[in-house]
Chains A and B, each alone.
Chain A
Amino acid sequence: MSADLFDEMHAPDGSIRGAYRHYDQWLAEQDSAWMRRKHFEAESFFRRTGITFNVYGEENAEERLIPFDMVPRIITGAEWRKLTRGIEQRVRALNAFMHDLYHRQEIIRSGRLPERLFRHNRAWLPQMVGFTPPGGVYTHIVGIDLVRTGPDEFLVLEDNARTPSGVSYMLENRETMMAMFPELFTRVKVRPVSNYPRLLAKSLSNCAPACASANPTVAVLTPGIYNSAYFEHAFLADQMGAELVEGSDLRVIDGRVQMRTTHGFQPIDVLYRRVDDDFLDPLSFNPDSVLGVPGIMDVYRAGRITIANAPGTGVADDKAIYSFMSEIVEFYTGEKPLLQNVQTWRCADPDSLKYVLDRLPELVVKEVHGSGGYGMLIGPTSTRKEIAEFREKLRARPDNYIAQPTLALSTCPIFTRSGLAPRHVDLRPFVLVSPEGIDITPGGLTRVALKKGSLVVNSSQGGGTKDSWVLDD
Chain B
Amino acid sequence: MLGRVANGMFWMYRYLERAENTARLLAAGHRMALTRGADIADEEWRSVLTTLGQLQQYKAQHDDFSGNHVCDFVLRAKTNQQSVLSMFERARINARICRSAITAEVWEAVNEGWMSLRDLLARPVRETSLNVALSAIRRESTLARGATHGSMMRNEVYSFVRAGTFMERADNTARILDVKYYLLLPSLSYVGTPLDTGQWDNVLRSLSGERAYRWLNAGRMDARSIAELLILDDRFPRSLAFCYASMRENLTALARLHGHEGPAHALMREADLRLTGRTVEDIFDQGLHQFLTEFISRNQAVAEAIAEQYRFNI
Contacts and interface: CB of A to CB of B under 8 A. Distances in A.
Contacts, number: 61
Interface of B: 1-6, 93, 96-97, 99-100, 104, 107-108, 111-112, 115, 156, 254, 258, 310-311, 314
**Which among B2, B93, B104, B254 has the greatest number of chain A C-beta atoms within 10 A?**
B2
A243 B2 contact: yes
- Main secondary structure, interface of A, reads mixed
A261 interface: yes
Contacts of A263: 258
A260 B111 contact: no
A230 B4 CA distance: 16
A50 B100 CA distance: 13
A259 interface: yes
Given A261-B3, A262-B3, A243 B100 contact: yes
A50 B96 contact: yes
B111 A262 contact: no
A261 B108 contact: no
A50 B4 contact: no
Interface in A221-259: 224-225, 230-231, 234-235, 237-238, 242-246, 248-249, 259
A262 B258 contact: yes
B156 A262 contact: yes
A261 B100 contact: no
A261 B107 contact: no
Given A244-B99, A249-B2, A261-B2, A49 B311 contact: no
Nearest to A244: B100
Interface residues of A, number: 25
A257 B310 CA distance: 20
Contacts of B5: 244
A47 interface: yes
A245 B97 CA distance: 10
Contacts of B314: 260
A235 B254 CA distance: 27
A182 to B, nearest CB: 18
A264 interface: yes
Contacts of A231: 99
Contact of B100 (A47, A225, A237, A264): A237
A397 interface: no
Q: Which 10 A-B residue pairs are closest in the complex by CB-CB distance?
A: A234-B99, A238-B100, A262-B310, A237-B100, A244-B100, A260-B3, A262-B6, A225-B96, A50-B111, A234-B100
Nearest to A236: B100
B100 A262 contact: no
A347 B98 CA distance: 47
A234 to B, nearest CB: 4
B67 to A, nearest CB: 32
Given A238-B99, A243-B100, A260-B311, A49 B108 contact: yes
Contacts of A260: 2-4, 311, 314
B99 A248 contact: no
A263 B115 CA distance: 35
Contact of A261 (B1, B97, B111, B112): B1
